[in-house]
Amino acid sequence: MAREQGDPSRLLAGVRIFQDLGSSALADAASSAQRLRRARGGIFFRQGQVADRLFVLLAGRVKVSQVTPEGHQIVVRYSGAGEMFGCVPLYGGREYPATAAAMTECDALSWDRSGTDRLMERHPRMAIHALELLGEELAQVRSRYAELATERVERRVARALLRLVGQAGKKIEGGVLIEFPLSRQDLAELTGTTLHTVSRILSSWEEAGIVKSGRQRVIIRKPHGLVSIAEDLDEGGTA
């Protein structure tokens, strides 16, 4: 457990599901947590495994993805520090419906099922927070669903990038860098298209000076240009 950085209960204070819980509750949670690290590429859990653990990410970035019966990959979401993932045990699911893999070096806490049950019993507010988080996630998936059903690929990719900027954007000179390795394939699986189409789109944006991208790297040079594509505004916004 909390090998370095001393008090893990301090880390938990910033995590939404543990908010407003009081220090004794945090200590309670921290004491029953297991500390987990993963190198880039490491796996937290795999789709189909018995869902017996809940995770909270302290540092790093995790890709949560699904494989359809036909073998297509879908990226469900990217989780960052302070976010919860593998929340299936919270609501009684049997198996993980997705795989969670570390995109960068990761550091996480986790609780087994009986631990989460006990925590939620003792601190009912945790259940309320869990409800809130799940509700928000539901709203988000629905909005992505609507997007997929009604929007063109280019706009979907623009929106996905803007969302990623919000989650993992880092200001650098000349733009905003997405702070973890993100391949064309990843973007394609996130937006429901193919890496070829993503590559073409990024190339055209690069030509327009909107982004600068390379091997698993994306820098947004003109966020406003992306916004014009993402929203209804005319394309060709030159910020």
Partner DNA sequence: CGGCTGCTTGATCGCTCTCAAATGGGGTGG
Partner DNA sequence: CCACCCCATTTGAGAGCGATCAAGCAGCCG
Q: Is 6 in the site for a copy of itself (CB under 8 A)?
A: no
Residue in 3, 4, 6, 150 binding a copy of itself, rule: CB under 8 A = 150
Q: Is the dihedral of CA 158, 183, 74, 94 positive or negative?
A: negative
Contacts with a copy of itself, 55-94, as mask; x by CB under 8 A? -----------x-xxx-x-x-x----------xx-xxxx-
DSSP-derived letter for residue 46 is -
234 binds, among DNA, a copy of itself, none (CB under 5 to 8 A by kind): none
- Residues 127 and 108: their CA atoms lie apart, in Å, by 21
Q: Is 214 in the site for DNA (CB under 7 A)?
A: yes
User: Does 69 help bind DNA (rule: CB under 7 A)?
Assistant: no
Q: Collapse the DSSP code of 133 into the 3-class scheme (helix H, G, I; strand E, B; otherwise coil) and give the result.
A: helix
Q: Which of 124, 166, 214, 236 binds a copy of itself (CB under 8 A)?
A: 124
Closest CA to 162 of 142, 146, 147: 147
Using the rule CB under 8 A, which residue among 122, 142, 170, 196 binds a copy of itself?
A: 142
Of the residues 122, 142, 152, 224, which one makes contact with DNA according to CB under 7 A: 152
Q: Does 172 bind a copy of itself (CB under 8 A)?
A: no
CB of 64 to DNA, least distance (A): 18
Please name which of 21, 116, 60, 131 lies closest in space to residue 10, comparing C-alpha atoms: 21
* Per-residue three-class SS string for 152-184: CHHHHHHHHHHHHHHHHEEEECCEEEECCCCCH
| Shortest distance, position 155 Cβ to DNA, whole Å | 8
